[in-house]
Amino acid sequence: MRKAWLRNYIGNLVGVAVLAAVFAPLPFMVDEALSYVLGMAFLFVLLAISWDLVTGYTGVVNLGLTVFVGLGGYASGLLQEAGRLKGTELAFISELSGLPVYATILIGGLVAAAVGLAIGVATLRLKGWYFALVTAILPLVFVQTTYVWKDVFGGEEGFVVHAPLGTTVVEKYYAALAMLLLCLVCVLAVTASRVGMRWKAVRDDEVLAEALGFSTTRYRVAAFVLSSFIAGVAGAATVHYRLVANNDLYDVPLLLLVILAVVVGGAGTVWGPVAGGFIVFSVKNWWLKPLVYGYIWPAGIPLNDDMILYAALVAIAILRPHGLWGSLVKIPKAFSHRFNRGPLQPKMPLSRAGR
């Protein structure tokens, strides 16, 4: 068992090394604009991995992911712009100003994880779609806080953060890439471990898992907290990457893009959301916008890029429910099964078979 885990994990580490080798030299081969967009893509892939941990591995549909993206982003941003908290009950936090950017990003992740723990303990005992309904309401609630406390959160416009993830685009790119690679190494270790196997057991048959003595709620809460932490770190890094904290971090369209990335890549696979995240982010930001503004709108067709992506989400969910990664994994298995069946045995005539 341990040898199989180690062999599988080493194979995954090779995949991480290949990913690093592909993306590490790119800033020296492309212009700064493309490097900037690629860095944002790395942070988006983190969100896809985060959502997959809960939905893909434990079978719980989490529609409140962007709550933790926003919590992490605002927490880190306010720690760097602590003057916005003066005159509030959190004015004491202004004494923490001057913390390094990566420290506040980590704190943003911990804040998101703490809230995730509270929400998970309170709601993950719900069965079926009740949990999904509860989490679907949460982003709408947290968006309203940015208007109610506009002096702190800045309302719809948000506020500027003067603590960049790096002094240049290239530094930001490598910081985002390092976060993605570190997250991959940790998540691959967890999902390949006994904990990851029990997550899958809970997903596949909750009744059997409980009969075997697993605390299904406890394992789901653990996945939910880890997912919240990763989402919070990604949200905080996004704020320091683009230097703006506003309530688009809570957006439902962002959640739908993340879901599309996981569905395209394949849920419950880690590498599927990675591939799906790059595909969806690339399609939306590089291909669809020129297509829509250059050809579709001039032709008088009332479509935008989001409508096309959401239609693709429905189509892929129906036609390829296991995603691209699941389909690719099945190809070598199909060939192996075909060539290892041995020689075909002649069929016995029915007249003889009945004797």
Residues contacting 146, CB < 8 A, separation 6+: 153, 154, 155, 156, 158, 246, 247, 250
- Which one has a higher pLDDT value, 156 or 316? 156
pLDDT in tens, 158-197: 999 999 999 999 999 999 999 999 999 999 999 988 899 9
Could you tell me the pTM of the whole model? 0.88
Q: Which of 123-127, 230-234, 339-343 has the lowest mean pLDDT?
A: 339-343
* pLDDT value for 112: 97
Secondary structure of 282-318 as H, E, C letters: HHHHHHHHHHHHHHHCCCCCCCCHHHHHHHHHHHHHH
Q: Is the pLDDT of residue 328 over 70?
A: no
**CB 35, CB 241: distance < 8 Å:** no
Query: 192 vs 71, which has greater pLDDT?
Result: 71
Q: Which helix (H) or strand (E) holds 72?
A: helix 65-80
CA geometry: angle at 34 spanning 30 and 39, to 5°?
115
Q: What is the pLDDT of residue 220?
A: 94
Residue 179: name the closest of 121, 120, 122, 109 by CA: 109
What the block records as the tokens of 5 is 């885990």
pLDDT of 350 higher than 50: no
DSSP class of 159: E
Q: Give the pLDDT score at 349.
A: 52
Q: What would the pLDDT profile of 270-283 be if each residue is shown by its tens digit?
A: 999 999 999 999 88
Asked if pLDDT for residue 117 goes beyond 90, the answer is yes
Strand partners, 245: 159
Query: Rounded to 5 degrees, what angle do the CA atoms 91, 95, 97 make?
Result: 110
Retrieve residue 125's tokens.
């005992």
Q: What pLDDT does 69 receive? A: 97
